[in-house]
Amino acid sequence: MRLLPFVLLAACAPENDTSGEVEPTGGTYSIQSTLLENGCASWGTSFNDSYDGASVEISFPDEATARFHWVNVQDCSRIGNAVDCRTDEPLLLDDYAPDSDARIMYEDQTLLTWDTPTQATGSSSIDLSCEGSQCETISAINEESYPCAIEMSWEIALEE
């Protein structure tokens, strides 16, 4: 009979407690990337090469924000140990002026989940587009057509 009160207490206990979620650590992270999809010919390889082995500083100013300290600082959405970092609008990648009015623009999204306080895994996708009347010429020079997309997997680790 003494087992019954214990069973009743166990049945009334709260569901899985999520307070044990990993708390990411701010600092400089090294990036290991692998090209998954390359719809941008040579751009895909060069984007992946530019990230693989590179570093990014990431800080966590509050529980809802992750801050990526790229060339331009970017505030990103954070829920617990998961970060969704995306551009709000297309940004300039290459401007072919004054020889051409073509401009290569990019939008990106990086999704990361911290498995430990100092390591995360996820993906990064980049969409390229071209603006201007001479995009066809630039497409021929770059041997690709716009718009195009690149997808990479990422593993990041806090540098020591």
- State pLDDT tens for residues 30-75: 999 999 999 998 888 988 999 999 999 999 999 999 999 988 899 9
Return d(Cα 81, Cα 63) in angstroms, integer: 9
What confidence score (pLDDT) does residue 105 get? 94
State the average pLDDT over residues 105-130.
96
Mean pLDDT of the chain, nearest integer: 87
What confidence score (pLDDT) does residue 42 get? 83
Span between the terminal Cα atoms of the chain, in Å: 57
Return d(Cα 24, Cα 59) in angstroms, integer: 9
Greatest extent of the chain over all pairs of C-alpha atoms, in Å: 89
Residue 10 has pLDDT above 80, yes or no: no
What confidence score (pLDDT) does residue 20 get? 56
State the average pLDDT over residues 140-149.
88
Report helix, strand or coil for 76: strand
Return d(Cα 142, Cα 57) in angstroms, integer: 31
Closest to 153 (Cα-Cα) out of 33, 1, 27: 33
Return d(Cα 113, Cα 90) in angstroms, integer: 25
Q: Please, where are the H alpha helices in the chain?
A: 3-12, 42-51, 135-142
State the average pLDDT over residues 88-105.
90
Return d(Cα 52, Cα 153) in angstroms, integer: 10
Closest to 159 (Cα-Cα) out of 38, 58, 45: 58
